[in-house]
């Protein structure tokens, strides 16, 4: 049989192990019988027949030749010298027909410059490129998907739109960047999806999107296509303008710390979680009445395990759906600002859970974490530790901090577990940790990450509070980076908290014997 592609490439496509299916599928100009010709190839595992429909000539129907029984088709058009937009008329083995645009007919969206910045760890708006983004290309609506998985053999986007079949939407590998990308036409917001990843050892598994803006609630773990732009109209312009011109360390601060899932549950409805709107109705007046200046929310990013209180994050860019939709969180923050209350968010860049759908072993390798458990696993918490020396990992985290400040108007980040980041021997005994290049126990890569994160946040969002939850005597935690410090504006005084609570737990008649707890703290 005569066709324009090798048997090996066809085999790689139908077995879903081609590194760049766009090199084979879609439109290509080739030399055919001594003439420049257009060839269009398609792969649809359930197809019995496929016809090619030029978009500007709907009356023309080109039959495609089935050159592999598993659904590989080709049409050679010797008279065509240019690439044109087209649709595929697919008839499956049951006789059901559908007409759709070919995802392999669209050019890459993520630019070489985007990939360069990401590889350098300096693409602070990478959340606009990776993840899922509804858009139009040449008036064709659809969703662009992109994920970083440099060690994968193949990555596919799967969802209800392709029956969770990883053969259907195999993604393009963008060179040495490790980014995989595809634009899937004619799907939109609300679609459930994951990435099906084939590791180099042949294992195939599903992962949620690290950059998804919305996701399902446990026990379900799929990501959800969601567009943040235009969802909520902010009214806090006065607050934001004032914040940008204020030095927060020179203002009185009184913070009410709250776990949204525990505060005043709705008992009459099976003790369910309150919604963001219910919190706004009840929490804001309460906090304002007793005189607090800020509400500090324990982590509200997507997390699989309720008892973790949100400190084991699986979706860093997705507010948990336990309490409502993203725009309802925006409304909560907006209403806080309207009542002159700032909102601080607990942020967890120190570690992440081992859940199968999350970041661990993401592409069949230790991608976000260290490979050596003496560096990559937290002995006390049973979680994984970020590899801060990898540029793309630092970029993921720093861009996430900026994301919350920009998209949700958060007024401060209380950075959790800073001590566990700073010390290589945190929670470890002799022989259970690896010294740095100078033989010390300081995590130099984490120090650089913290300094970069604080510097970028203070540059782009003046007036925002960066608070370290740090329990040791590390010097210069709240000293500016240019003066040799870590760059935080504040340090969460763990010793004071412990000592004051210890003092308050004493019977009042005995407290006079424990005043030293107050002065020591």
Q: In this predicted structure, what is the pLDDT of residue 166?
A: 96
pLDDT band at 328 (very low <50, low <70, confident <90, very high): very high
Q: Can you tell me the mean pLDDT for 385-394? A: 96
pLDDT digits (tens, 9 = 90+) for 67-123: 999 999 999 998 888 899 999 999 998 999 999 999 999 999 999 999 999 999 999
Could you tell me which residue, 495 or 164, shows the higher pLDDT? 164
Could you tell me which residue, 255 or 501, shows the higher pLDDT? 255
pLDDT digits (tens, 9 = 90+) for 289-307: 999 999 999 988 998 877 7
Domain boundaries, the chain: 19-101, 112-225, 247-349+394-466+476-488
pLDDT digits (tens, 9 = 90+) for 459-470: 999 999 999 998
Q: In this predicted structure, what is the pLDDT of residue 306?
A: 76
pLDDT digits (tens, 9 = 90+) for 401-445: 999 999 999 999 999 989 999 999 998 999 999 999 999 999 999
Is the distance from CB of 415 to CB of 349 less than 8 angstroms? yes
Concatenated DSSP letters of 280-335: HHHHHHHHHHTT-SEEEEPP-EE-S-GGGTT-S-SEEEEE-GGG--HHHHHHHHHH
Is the distance from CB of 399 to CB of 365 less than 8 angstroms? no
DSSP state of 217: P
CA distance 28 to 31: 10
Write the class of the CATH domain 112-225. Answer: mainly beta
Task: Say if residue 1's pLDDT is above 70.
Answer: no
Q: In this predicted structure, what is the pLDDT of residue 521?
A: 56
Phi, then psi, of 209 in degrees rounded to 5: -80, 120
- Verify cis geometry, omega within 30 degrees of 0, for the bond prior to 508: no
Q: Given this chain, do its domains 19-101 and 112-225 carry the same CATH topology?
A: yes
The C-alpha R_g of the chain, in whole angstroms, comes to 27
Record: fold of 19-101: Immunoglobulin-like (2.60.40)
CA distance 365 to 388: 16
Percent share of the chain, pLDDT over 70: 99
Q: In this predicted structure, what is the pLDDT of residue 520?
A: 66
Q: Is 138 a catalytic residue?
A: no
Which residues have CB under 8 Å from 341's CB, separation 6+?
284, 287, 288, 292, 293, 294, 295
Percent share of the chain, pLDDT over 90: 76
416, 445, 470, 499: the active-site residue: 416
Task: Say if residue 471's pLDDT is above 90.
Answer: no
Tokens of 69: 């029984």
User: What does pTM read for this prediction?
Assistant: 0.92
Average pLDDT, the chain: 92
Q: In this predicted structure, what is the pLDDT of residue 175?
A: 84
Task: Say if residue 319's pLDDT is above 70.
Answer: yes
196, 346, 377, 469: the active-site residue: 469
**Does an H or E element contain 396, and which?**
helix 391-407
pLDDT digits (tens, 9 = 90+) for 167-177: 999 999 998 89
CA distance 263 to 14: 52
Q: Is 469 a catalytic residue?
A: yes
Find out if CATH 3.20.20.80 is the number for domain 247-349+394-466+476-488: yes
Which residues have CB under 8 Å from 166's CB, separation 6+?
16, 154, 156, 158, 196, 198, 204
Task: Say if residue 182's pLDDT is above 60.
Answer: yes
Could you tell me which residue, 226 or 511, shows the higher pLDDT? 226
């Amino acid at each position: 049989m005569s066709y324009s592609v090798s048997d090996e490439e066809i085999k790689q496509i139908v077995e879903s192990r081609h590194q760049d299916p766009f090199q084979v599928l879609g439109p290509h100009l080739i030399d055919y019988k001594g003439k420049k010709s257009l060839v269009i190839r398609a792969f649809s595992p359930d197809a019995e027949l496929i016809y090619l429909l030029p978009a500007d000539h709907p009356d023309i129907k080109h039959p495609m030749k089935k050159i592999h029984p598993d659904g590989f088709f080709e049409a050679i058009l010797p008279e065509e010298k240019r690439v044109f937009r087209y649709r595929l008329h697919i008839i499956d083995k049951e006789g059901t027909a559908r007409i759709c645009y070919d995802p392999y007919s669209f050019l890459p969206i993520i630019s070489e410059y985007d990939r360069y910045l990401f590889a350098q760890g300096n693409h602070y708006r990478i959340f606009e490129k990776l993840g899922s983004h509804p858009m139009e290309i040449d008036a064709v609506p659809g969703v662009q998907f992109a994920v970083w998985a440099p060690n994968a053999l193949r990555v596919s986007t799967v969802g209800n739109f392709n029956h969770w079949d990883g053969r259907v939407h195999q993604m393009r590998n963008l060179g040495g960047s490790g980014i995989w990308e595809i634009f899937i036409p004619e799907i939109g917001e609300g679609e459930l999806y994951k990435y099906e990843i084939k590791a180099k050892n042949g294992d195939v598994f599903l992962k949620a999107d690290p950059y998804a803006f919305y996701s399902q609630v446990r026990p379900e773990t799929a990501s959800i296509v969601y567009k943040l732009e235009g969802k909520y109209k902010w009214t806090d312009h006065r607050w934001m303008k004032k914040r940008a011109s204020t030095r927060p360390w020179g203002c009185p601060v009184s913070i009410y710390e709250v776990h949204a899932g525990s505060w005043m549950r709705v008992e009459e409805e099976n003790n369910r979680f309150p919604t963001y709107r219910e919190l706004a109705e009840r929490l804001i007046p309460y906090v304002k009445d007793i005189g607090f200046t800020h509400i500090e929310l324990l982590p509200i990013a997507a997390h699989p395990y309720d008892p973790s209180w949100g400190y084991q994050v699986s979706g860093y860019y997705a507010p948990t759906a336990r309490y409502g939709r993203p725009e309802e969180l925006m409304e909560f923050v907006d209403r806080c600002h309207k009542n002159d209350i700032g909102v601080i968010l607990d942020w967890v860049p120190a570690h992440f859970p081992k859940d199968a759908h999350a970041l661990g072993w993401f592409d069949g390798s230790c991608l976000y974490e260290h490979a050596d458990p003496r560096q990559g696993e937290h002995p006390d918490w049973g979680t994984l530790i970020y590899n801060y020396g990898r540029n793309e990992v630092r970029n993921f985290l720093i861009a996430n901090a900026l994301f919350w400040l920009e998209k949700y108007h958060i007024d401060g980040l209380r950075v959790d577990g800073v001590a566990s980041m700073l010390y290589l021997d945190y929670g470890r005994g002799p022989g259970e940790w690896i010294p740095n290049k100078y033989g010390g126990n300081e995590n130099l890569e984490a120090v650089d990450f913290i300094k970069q994160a604080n510097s970028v946040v203070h540059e782009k969002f003046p007036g925002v509070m960066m608070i370290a939850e740090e329990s040791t005597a590390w010097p210069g935690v709240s000293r500016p980076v240019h003066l040799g410090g870590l760059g935080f504006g504040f340090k969460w005084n763990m010793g004071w908290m412990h000592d004051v609570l210890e003092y308050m737990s004493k019977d009042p008649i005995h407290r006079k014997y424990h005043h030293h707890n107050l002065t020591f703290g």
